[in-house]
Structure 1
Amino acid sequence: MRPKPHYPLNVKLLLIGVTLAFILLFLTRSNFSPASNQTPSPYSKDTENLSCSPSCSKIPSSLAHALIHYSTSSITPQQTLKEISVIAKVLQNKSPCNFLVFGLGHDSLMWSMLNHGGRTIFVEEDEAWIEQIKRRFPMLESYHVVYDSKVNQADNLMEAGKGPECTSVGDVRHSMCQLALKGLPKEVYETKWDLIMVDAPTGYYDEAPGRMTAIYTAGMMARNRDDGDTDVFVHDVNRVVEDKFSKEFLCEGYLKRQEGRPANLDALNQFEAPGQERAHYPLGGWRVIFLS
């Protein structure tokens, strides 16, 4: 993921607003924690503002760091105000949770802080970029991944994805499908993801690494989950490959929301992908067969 120069003021204001709202929510939860069983003093009304522990008035240093960073940075994230709002709303309901992001960028600190208390992992194709971001934000958990398919192979991979080796749902590490990403770190395969966002790899010219395998793998991991649903977000669905592959392998019938259409810059699709307990009927190009 790389910075894109659109809507800088609106997005920056959103980031500041979202961060402040998150801080306010954190402080509110702290202030309204369950009371003790002690009988209140008759003088408690006069002293109630002094009885709060020091932790009530402090925010975690990581949140403070994020607020300062985005308040002073001139670099804006890769998504628009409305797109960020869609994902932030889901995070508000589900966090702290497990959040997997394909792509590492200037917005990564924001996503990690919006999932405060949860686990957010970023997988990125550019090792030099990972090192650069790590120097600035060492608290982020990120890993290198190699994509062996290119955008100009999308049509062939779409046909291959209709074969039985690709439509049978199981552990992606043991899949025989060409679309299955097998080079991810074990942390990715062994975690049940509540949210997955596909905003990488590059994907915007024919010889670039395409997002076909990332989209397929996200769908496979969601379907192989034995409990609960996974919200999967695919960014840049204004592009043909991202749009077709997300609707095919995340199933158009599970498409919950589209943001950004018919704009010709960015667009975002949100899918609510069911796990094994619910995905027992075919949708899109999938013939669901669960493998042990």
Structure 2
Amino acid sequence: MKSKNQSPINMKITILGLFILLFLSVISWSSYSSFKAENDDHPSDSSHLSIDEEIHSATACPSLPSTPTCTKTPPSVANALVHYVTTNITPQQTLKEISVSLRVLEKKSPCNFLIFGLGHDSLMWDTLNHGGRTVFLEEERLWIEHIREELPALESYHVTYETRVRQANELIESGMGDDCKVVGDPRISKCQLALKGFPDNIYDTEWDLIMVDAPTGYHDEAPGRMNAIYTAGLMARNREHGETDVFVHDVDRVIEDKFSKFFLCEGYLTEEEGRLRHFIIPSHRTSSGKPFCP
């Protein structure tokens, strides 16, 4: 009898407890719904900022909504990457030698860059000077045609050299004369070493960088780089103002060694890495009476 009397009471307590829990649940849910509705109707300033940023990002670069701007690889850079990744032919300069010119380009590019020579590294130089003007002067017509078929975007010109390596001693003696110490336009220079056969736009441009890595100079009947080195120095001195970085490659050879020291001047030599020398030559037009070499 005792158990029978307690059973209805326990049942009532259980039902009352469930009712209370249900009532509390309803109240909690109502409060949450009301809070959510208020926030939906009146979002905070930070919510506005986040949404605006997402919209701006999506507009700037649809495929990358979390990126503030969409930067695309320039076609010239992409082409250079593909070209060098898919070829076994590498530039003749070493990594350390290339790094010397690269440091200058990092500061000056986009700029005017004149290069004596057209080779397997030409696309690299043109790409490193992205947005600037890079011009190549080449002695071999057939080689120009070959490179143009493969890399038509490169600006190159054919140059004729009348000198020979075996004439180097004679030419350096003539270079000691007064006519070769006069700073001016190479087209009107009386110096035998001045090159006069370039297109006019080459002479009319103030070059920020000049690299002498041509013409051929490793045998007696080759043109040699005597004229190229002298003319590069003359162009640098003849610019209206500022400085020109001049690089000479293969300075382990006699002609490149002697002519660069004599006509680009050891006083302007700033760095030597491997077979590469780097000269910084200031304008001589702004300082009358300035010596050819410091």
State the TM-score bracket (shorter-chain normalisation).
0.7 to 0.9
Gaps of 5+ in 1: 1-40, 261-266, 287-292
Confirm or deny that 1:92 pairs with 2:101: no
Partner of 1:281: 290
Structure 1 vs Structure 2 CA RMSD: 1.9
Percent of aligned pairs with the same residue?
62
Taking structure 2 as the reference length, the TM-score comes to 0.78
1:52-80 deviation per Cα after TM superposition (whole angstroms, max 9, x unaligned): 25783321211111100111110011100
Partner of 2:276: 268
Structure with more contact order per residue of length (Cα contacts < 8 Å, sep ≥ 6): 1
Give the Cα–Cα distance (whole angstroms) in 2 for the partners of residues 241 and 70 of structure 1.
Answer: 31
Judged with a 3 Å threshold, the aligned counterparts in structure 2 of structure 1 residues 78 and 225 are, in CA distance, closer, same or farther, namely same
Confirm or deny that 1:148 pairs with 2:148: no
Confirm or deny that 1:258 pairs with 2:266: no
Give the Cα–Cα distance (whole angstroms) in 1 for the partners of residues 74 and 90 of structure 2.
Answer: 23
Of 182-191 and 55-64, the range deviating more from structure 2: 55-64
Residue 48 of structure 1 and its aligned partner are, at CA, apart by 5.7
Residue in structure 1 matching 2:184, options 153, 165, 170 = 170
State the secondary structure of the residue aligned to 2:70: helix
Contact 1:103 1:199 in 2 (8 A): yes
Higher helix share: 2
Confirm or deny that 1:113 pairs with 2:127: yes
Contact 1:228 1:274 in 2 (8 A): yes
1:159-201 deviation per Cα after TM superposition (whole angstroms, max 9, x unaligned): 1001111111111000111100011111210100000000000
Partner of 1:191: 205
Of 207-216 and 44-53, the range deviating more from structure 2: 44-53
State the 4+ residue runs in structure 1 displaced beyond 2 angstroms: 43-57, 276-284
Residue in structure 2 matching 1:211, options 211, 218, 225 = 225
Residue in structure 1 matching 2:249, options 235, 241, 246 = 235
Residue 44 of structure 1 and its aligned partner are, at CA, apart by 3.7
The structure with more radius of gyration: 2
Contact 1:76 1:107 in 2 (8 A): yes
State the secondary structure of the residue aligned to 2:78: helix
Give the Cα–Cα distance (whole angstroms) in 2 for the partners of residues 247 and 164 of structure 1.
Answer: 18
Partner of 2:149: 135
Q: Which residue identity is paired with 1:200?
A: A
